[in-house]
Amino acid sequence: MTATARAGDAVIREGEAIIRVGDVRKRYGDVRAVDGVTFSVSSGQIFGLLGPNGAGKTTTVEMLEGLRQPDSGRLEVLGIDVARHPDALKERIGVALQTAELYPKLTVVEVLDLFRSFYRRSIPTAQLLEFLDLGERRTAQTRHLSGGQRQRLAVALALVNDPEVVFLDEPTTGLDPAARRALWSLVEQLKAQGKTVLLTTHYMEEAEALCDRVAIMDHGRILDMGSVGDLVSRRFQEKAVQFDRIDGLGDERLAAIAAVTSVRHDDGRDLLYSRDVPATIRDLLGISEEMAVEPQNLTIRRATLEDVFLDLTGRALRD
């Protein structure tokens, strides 16, 4: 107990790294689920692990929560060594798992009160209900909740102990756009309260909308890390010109179009990254006129995380 208490007393200063992950590895049989991951999260940030299903995001988060043991590497949260003092850690973190099913025959209030009883310190149930907008459903059994309500309850349960660090694993998967936006604003309020949030997602928009920093994961490795702006500008000074694939217009021809730096294909569309969009468009329209076709769904946009992912992995990130 004394060792636990000492570990728990570690003081974290504003802006200091609150989560440290050092060269962590975990394999299941032949599969390297997490293959040498290193990152740190500063206090008060929203940090996102972005990647497709099976990238190793959930395994990474569950190791940080003390639910899984790493094969090697170091995990530290709030200055606590996760492997050595998981119980001290669990008092101070909040967790929402990917699946948010709970005792189906208990009501919202009953589940909240149950979880509050597990912690030394807890937030009043009424306050949680109000914050998560679950007041109207307080006496509903959890099996009768909608997907969005269930997800909000899962977040509420992650907050009962007023944790300093909150882990949210795919918090908006399966939600409709309105419910997703409602959850985003909740996460932003957590940040406003000074909490540190680590979330996983496979939605680009989610990472762009919420995260101060993003680590892009694939096949158990982190491919790149930084703010969304940095991740994009590091790779793309260009803008993207995008149109439905034109038959008979090959890559060589596309690459020769004025101001084009690279060519990508994404799901039946051609993507030209251009330093000078007007020059590129002029050239493209000239070629298509020559071929007597009209480019369909022609759009010009700035590069996004989607482009970064495509550039890093050669494939699009979609579910």
Partner 1 sequence: MRALRSLVIAHIRSYVRDRQALFWTIAFPLIFIFLFGSIFSGGTNRTKLGWADEDGSPSSTALREVFSSASLVEIVDGSRADVLEKMRHGDLPGVVVIPKGYGDQVAAAQKGTGPPAQVTVYTDPSQQTQSGSVKGLVGAILAQANLVGRPPAVVADLQDLQTQDLNAVSYLVPSILGMALMQLGIFAAIPLVADRQKLILKRLSATPLRRWQLVGSNIVMRLIIGLVQMILIVGIGAAVFGVKVTGNIAAIGGLAVLGAVAFTSLGYVIASFAATEDAANGMTGAVQFPLMFLSGTFWPIAIMPAPLQAVALVLPLTYLSDAMRQVMVNGAALFPLWLCVAVLVGWTVVCFAIAARFFRWQ
Residues binding partner 1 (CB under 8 A): 65-67, 87, 90-91, 93, 95, 97, 99, 101-106, 110, 113-115, 117-120, 141, 157
Q: How far apart are CB 148 and partner 1 at their closest, in Å?
A: 18
Cβ nearer to partner 1, comparing 81 with 113: 113
Q: Which one, 93 or 175, has the nearer CB to partner 1? A: 93
Nearer to partner 1, 87 or 130 (CB): 87
Strand order in 221-226's β-sheet? 93-96, 165-169, 196-201, 46-50, 213-218, 221-226
For partner 1, give the closer residue by CB, 106 or 279: 106
- Residue 249 CB, shortest distance to partner 1, in Å, is 50
Shortest distance in whole angstroms from residue 21 CB to partner 1: 18
281 Cβ neighbours under 8 A, 6+ residues apart: 241, 298, 300
Mapping DSSP to helix (H, G, I), strand (E, B) and coil, where does residue 85 land? coil
Residues facing 25 on adjacent strands:
35, 72
CB of 305 to partner 1, least distance (A): 29
Nearest to partner 1 of 99, 127 (CB atom):
99
Strand runs labelled E in the chain = 17-28, 31-42, 46-50, 72-77, 80-81, 93-96, 165-169, 196-201, 213-218, 221-226, 239-244, 260-266, 269-274, 299-302
Task: State in angstroms the smallest separation of the CB of 53 from partner 1.
Answer: 17
Find all residues with CB under 8 Å of 319, minimum gap 6, and list them. 52, 53, 202
Closest CA to 159 of 120, 195, 200, 105: 195
